[in-house]
Structure 1
Amino acid sequence: MHYNKITSELVTELINIVGRSNVIEDPEKLETYAGDEVPEAEWKHLPEVVVKPRDVQQTAEIIKMANREMIPVTPRGAGTGLAAGAVPMLGGIVLSVENMNRILEIDRENLFMVVEPGVTTGEVQQRAWAEGYFYAGDPCSADSSFIGGNVATNAGGNKAVKYGTTSRYIYGLEIVTPTGEITTLGGKCVKSSTGYDLVHLMVGSEGTLGIVTKVYLKLLPRPLHNAVLLVPFEDMQTAIDVVPKIMTNGGIIPTSIEFMDQLCIKSAEGFLDRPLPFSDAGAHIIIEVEAYTKSQLEADYETIGTICLENDGLDVFVGDNRASQEKIWKARRHLAEALRVTSPVYCMEDIVVPVNKIPAVLAEINRIAEKYSIKIPCFGHAGDGNIHATLLKENMDDATWHAVKEKVLDEIYTITHASGGNLSGEHGIGAKRVKAMAKFTDPVQLKMIAAIKKALDPNLILNPDKVIDLA
């Protein structure tokens, strides 16, 4: 596909659409929009121009111009992604939704919040809580990630065991199509069998099928009580073996079941500069439970604690107030930063496998790490099989790192695929995993994805070179 370059005349047209202050051309300022949280240089690329529309009409005008002139457009939220999904690999326009940052409505009768895509997940959570409700989406980047980005990747997070991923709470989307048309898919109805489910076609499409300009989020009644348990285990196998026992005993559905291996525990301990309980343990499991009565909460966490101890848990630490819970969660939430300090260049993966396959896959990852003399700390969401295996670049030059990384990733993906798993549980494919997507995805599915993309985006201008290679 041939794309054209941005000319001074097109910059003037963009200024006329969004205003001078919302168009960025300065190369130093463009650097901010050249990458996301993937640290490697190969996944960074300068846009030719950045535009920051304030509403759906301006967004539509930009997309119409891009189609007319054959200019690639990369939609961008907060830039907290981990798959190079908002990186303008082919230059062109970065369309940032940062100015579309309003909470538009709290509908108390229907339990909906309507927001623009540039609102942070944390702001949605806090506003819902203040109104007496609960928004269940909870990625670890909640304080900085935008709702628009959560929609684009179908973000998961710590509460997915009980509440599922972002898609469960999206009932409507206002979008600008890849050809510049405006439509609202779904809305506030909680049921619909009217045609194809276009809402959830858009959720997880990584900005390749449309630009989200308004989101209808479902709210829930606010849980009144919660507790967080930290349970150390001698090894990862024992730790993961307890997960299905927790899930199938006593009718309790935990909010979260997270895990950290020994390398992660030590990295977090160093980053926080304080000792963690049983820091020499082979693994830590963090379990959160919620209830509407205090007595039910206590009964639930006592049941879970007993299950853990009966299955070789070394101890059970219970956080039943905000301060003690934050102390337990802090190590897990800051793991990405801790590993970044350990190794400024790293490759965080996002594989997902059936829960009972986690120990075997982790054992294989350890074997691969030894084979290539590389550290691969692992952490993630034990309750839903989502493993963040993180390759660290230590004592390697760039050429060695690149060669080793490619071999390691291919072996990890091969094991994941053979275990009935997928390449990504919540970060997305982006540009980073396009080659792996082609290798490890059923060709029939690839053909379906390509057909949908070409039908909705005939000029292939919206977030090209992401998810699937159509060259």
Structure 2
Amino acid sequence: MTGTFFGNTDALRERYGKITPEILREIQEAAGAKNVVAGDPEALESYASDEAGIMFTSMPDAVVKAESAEQVAAVMKVASKYKIPVTPRGAGSGLAGAAVPLCGGIVLSLEKMNRILEIDPVNRVAVVEPGVVTNELCKAVAEQGFLYAGYPMSTETSFIGGNVATNAGGGKVIRYGNTRRHVLGLEVVLPTGTVLNLGGRIRKDTWGYSLMQLMVGSEGTLGIITRVIVNLEPKPGKTVNLLVAFPDLDSAVDSVAKVVRTGISVISCELMDKLSVNIAASHVNTVLPYQDRADAFLLIQIEGDSDERLEEGYEKVGTLCLENGALEVFVAESRTESGMIWNIRQNLAEAMRAHDPYCSLSGDMVVPLSTVPEMVEEIRKAGKERGIAVGILGHIADGNLHPIIFKPAGMEPMEWAEYAEAFYDDLTSVAIRLGGVGSGEHGIGYVKMPIFLHSKPAEEIEIMRGIKRSFDPDGILNPGKLLGS
């Protein structure tokens, strides 16, 4: 194993079986030899990490690129028989190490299961395989007059299955909620190879415990998602994007609650500080208005059912921001202008990583909106005390903040990985004190597992572990994640 922050996983690895040549042949029979990668370090290496960063890597022994639920079930039966650890993987766009194969074994990739199976206009659902890219689903349903509102910022790279596994959020949560709200049904393969069909094309039931809801956000520790039925919303009415430049971060943050209280239909409200904007704008070769003078920007999207209502809405929001100290409010007057603004926000993570390959993107605290100003101040203070550069962005209207920190020159990667996570652990403790949690959408994975386990009552953790044992008695599915060993 390579990597820097996983500590000693030898004891955990010893609990599991090894892939012998004989077992490899059984895996190949289960999934088809062409779908199995083994013995090729270069090919395996691209499945050794996710977007948590190059500090967090661990090599798999084999990668299976399943093409169907039947193949997934057959592979899991082999894994269960020999107690081989299995790490489910979507696009690898996660930021918490959940797709990193800590114990080697099999990475079970869903990348080939990438079909939109059905768009059902009567029941207002789409049926998709887990490897469908989020944006491809968004475009397909839009052509039929619908909106898929489970819309993370990684929409152009993330898979639907990964969104479900992490209960992904994004810029539209303030209006539409996290992914959980849009999942109506799941087909799931359990560690034993058993296939469950949960939920369906209905929107309510009181029909026993909801195993489907347990699967949403379980990060591949309970089962492998092989089919998803998602809710479709009516396509939104007329929308407009506002870019609001502020002279300081405090006035931007203070404006958010006032904007939300206007009663205007706010679809998104995103915060970007000066450091974040400068890096991202340079990355996409764009300059925003007032970029040289503003210390913070809000990107606000509002909706109206007519041109008159839309104009009334953006004038009201714009006036409020100006009264609260904004330097200027820019109304995007074309699809091109809107695209330019959103391009900066959607490419922030990629831009940060290009600027510093070791930057840490795992910050994902959520606090009540009333405590956002205090949380922002704590983030800034933590950066100053440690002498590290911090970019602050996030889905601020729902209290979800993403501090991004950059490795100081001269610090070794191993030291930086531990330093960065200690930084986030401290801020997570602040978020919990303020009534929040340490992750709103990225998940826990391995990276946030220590602070997660420390922050929860022992009784609650034991109930969760009991659920894990019920689904996965041998602990072969995504070991070392979320709840640990």
Give yes or no for the alignment of 1:334 onto 2:319: no
Give yes or no for the alignment of 1:101 onto 2:101: no
Which deviates more from structure 2 when the two are superposed, residues 267-276 or residues 461-470?
267-276
Relative to structure 1, the CA distance from residue 160 to residue 461 in structure 2 (aligned partners, 3 Å threshold; closer, same or farther) is: same
Aligned to 1:17: 30
- Give, as a single letter, the amino acid of the residue that structure 2 aligns with 1:125: C
What is the CA–CA distance in structure 2 between the aligned matches of 1:176 and 1:400, rounded to whole Å?
39
Secondary structure, aligned partner of 1:377: strand
Instruction: Flag structure 1 segments of 5+ consecutive residues without an equivalent.
Output: none
Match of 1:39 among 50, 53, 63: 53
Give yes or no for the alignment of 1:264 onto 2:272: no
CA displacement at 1:400 relative to structure 2:
4.5
Aligned to 2:429: 414
CA displacement at 1:201 relative to structure 2:
0.9
Task: Say how many residue pairs are matched.
Answer: 468
What is the CA–CA distance in structure 1 between the aligned matches of 2:242 and 2:421, rounded to whole Å?
37
Instruction: Flag structure 2 segments of 5+ consecutive residues without an equivalent.
Output: 1-11
Give the share of equivalent positions with the same residue, in percent.
43
Aligned to 1:228: 241
Secondary structure, aligned partner of 2:241: strand
Match of 1:464 among 466, 470, 479: 479
Relative to structure 1, the CA distance from residue 402 to residue 146 in structure 2 (aligned partners, 3 Å threshold; closer, same or farther) is: closer
Give yes or no for the alignment of 1:425 onto 2:440: yes
What is the CA–CA distance in structure 2 between the aligned matches of 1:12 and 1:446, rounded to whole Å?
38
Alignment of 1:377-388 (within 5 A): 377-388=391-402
Relative to structure 1, the CA distance from residue 169 to residue 444 in structure 2 (aligned partners, 3 Å threshold; closer, same or farther) is: same
Secondary structure, aligned partner of 1:380: strand
Aligned to 1:324: 337
Aligned to 1:253: 265
Give yes or no for the alignment of 1:153 onto 2:166: yes
Normalising by structure 2, we get a TM-score of 0.94
Secondary structure, aligned partner of 1:173: strand
Secondary structure, aligned partner of 2:265: coil
What is the CA–CA distance in structure 2 between the aligned matches of 1:374 and 1:182, rounded to whole Å?
48
Relative to structure 1, the CA distance from residue 28 to residue 110 in structure 2 (aligned partners, 3 Å threshold; closer, same or farther) is: same
Match of 1:28 among 42, 48, 54: 42
CA displacement at 1:38 relative to structure 2:
1.7
What is the CA–CA distance in structure 2 between the aligned matches of 1:110 and 1:308, rounded to whole Å?
41
Aligned to 1:198: 211
- Deviation string 1:228-274 (CA, Å, 9 cap, x unpaired) is 0011112222111111111112x223000000112112212332333
Aligned to 1:370: 384
- Give, as a single letter, the amino acid of the residue that structure 2 aligns with 1:308: C
Secondary structure, aligned partner of 2:84: coil
What is the CA–CA distance in structure 2 between the aligned matches of 1:371 and 1:306, rounded to whole Å?
37
Give yes or no for the alignment of 1:296 onto 2:309: yes
Which deviates more from structure 2 when the two are superposed, residues 393-402 or residues 353-362?
393-402
- Deviation string 1:44-102 (CA, Å, 9 cap, x unpaired) is 11100011121111111111111110100000001111111111010000111111111
Alpha-carbon contact 1:354-1:420 (below 8 Å) kept: yes
What is the CA–CA distance in structure 1 between the aligned matches of 2:402 and 2:320, rounded to whole Å?
26
RMSD of aligned alpha carbons: 1.4
Aligned to 1:360: 374
Aligned to 2:8: none
Alpha-carbon contact 1:236-1:359 (below 8 Å) kept: no
What is the CA–CA distance in structure 2 between the aligned matches of 1:165 and 1:397, rounded to whole Å?
37
- Deviation string 1:103-162 (CA, Å, 9 cap, x unpaired) is 111111111100010111011000000111111111111111100000000010111110
Match of 1:274 among 272, 286, 289: 286
